[in-house]
Amino acid sequence: MKMSDSRIIKAPQEVVWAAILDPEVLKACVPGCTEMSGSAEEGFEATVVQKVGPVKATFKGQVSLSNMDAPNAVTLSGEGKGGAAGFAKGGADVALAPAEGGTELTYAVEANVGGKLAQLGSRIIDGFAKKMADQFFDNFQQAVEGPSDPDAAPETDAPDQDGKKKGWFKRMVS
């Protein structure tokens, strides 16, 4: 299964790059992620709990980063084993470029599954994979930018110099 998309993130390219390499940001953005540890240099280990159709599984796996061209591009590759449910492996090529209003993030994802998961059929798996990718990048965009509705932001959010509330990751790097 392959898919690609792009989106504009309202933050400088260096901030978006730093967020991609931060295990806490990744943990918050990966749907179902219960644990994330490691570093961009050595790779990450993650535990993700997901339900795909009738199959619920806990995946334990590794993610490595390669082809790093800071702050322009990186390839993320990972593999997770879900016990009797099977396995999932894949990767994403992520490119960042300056754009009007922030940074354009473009991604191309390729994923494969095996075991019981593969028996669910490509329609269910492809739909699930697209939903996961969309959720991850929506979560990532919110983590970097902050909520789209500034009034929905928690009261503890400190406004930036323009009086707008920041995303939690932007507050960390400010």
As a whole number, mean pLDDT of residues 34-63 equals 93
Task: Kindly report, residue by residue over 104-155, the tens digit of the pLDDT.
Answer: 999 999 988 899 888 888 888 888 888 988 999 999 999 999 876 555 444 4
- Please check the confidence at residue 165 and state whether its pLDDT lies above 70: no
What pLDDT score was predicted for residue 168? 55
- Terminus-to-terminus CA distance in the chain, angstroms? 38
What pLDDT score was predicted for residue 153? 45
What pLDDT score was predicted for residue 151? 53
Alpha-carbon distance 174 to 171, whole Å?
Answer: 5
As a whole number, mean pLDDT of residues 34-51 equals 94
- Please check the confidence at residue 77 and state whether its pLDDT lies above 70: yes
What pLDDT score was predicted for residue 171? 57
Contact 7, 141 (CB under 8 A): yes
Task: Kindly report, residue by residue over 3-15, the tens digit of the pLDDT.
Answer: 999 999 999 999 9
Contact 50, 56 (CB under 8 A): yes
What pLDDT score was predicted for residue 130? 87
Contact 4, 95 (CB under 8 A): no
Per the structure block, which two tokens stand in for 4? 């690609």
Tokens 């993320």 belong to 76
Which are the contacts of 123, defined by CB distance < 8 A and separation ≥ 6?
Answer: none
- Please check the confidence at residue 35 and state whether its pLDDT lies above 80: yes
Alpha-carbon distance 147 to 1, whole Å?
Answer: 31
- Please check the confidence at residue 29 and state whether its pLDDT lies above 50: yes
What pLDDT score was predicted for residue 60? 96
